[in-house]
Chain A
Amino acid sequence: MSNAQQFDTRPVVDNESEIAVESPLAFSRHRSGAPKAKADTRVTVRERAFLGHLVLRGGAIVLDEALREVVGLGLPGEPLGLVQDEGGKRSIQWISPDEWLLIVPGGEEFDIERRLREALGDAHFSISNVGGGQTVLELSGEAAREVLMKSVSYDVHPSHFPVGKGVTTVFAKSTVVLRRPSEERWELVIRRSFADYLYRWILDAGAEYTIGVEG
Chain B
Amino acid sequence: MFHIYCPHCAEHREEEEFHPKGQAHIARPMDPEACSDEEWGDYLFFRDNPRGIHHELWVHAVGCRKFFNITRNTVSYEILETYKVGEQPTITAESLSQDKKMTADGVTVADGGLQTEGESDSAVNTSKEAKV
Contact = CB atoms under 8 A, between A and B. Distances in A.
Chains A and B touch each other in the complex, with CB atoms below 8 Å apart: yes
Contact of B13 (A96, A97, A99, A169): A169
A169 B17 CA distance: 7
B75 interface: no
A96 B63 CA distance: 8
Given A79-B8, A79-B9, A170 B64 contact: no
B64 A175 contact: no
Interface residues of A, number: 13
5 contacts: A95-B64, A153-B16, A167-B9, A169-B17, A170-B62
- Label chain A's interface by main secondary structure: strand
Interface residues of B, number: 13
Contacts of A97: 8, 64, 66
Interface of A: 79-80, 95-97, 99, 153-154, 167-170, 175
Nearest to A78: B10
Given A79-B8, A79-B10, A80-B11, A96 B64 contact: yes
Interface in B51-88: 62-66
B105 interface: no
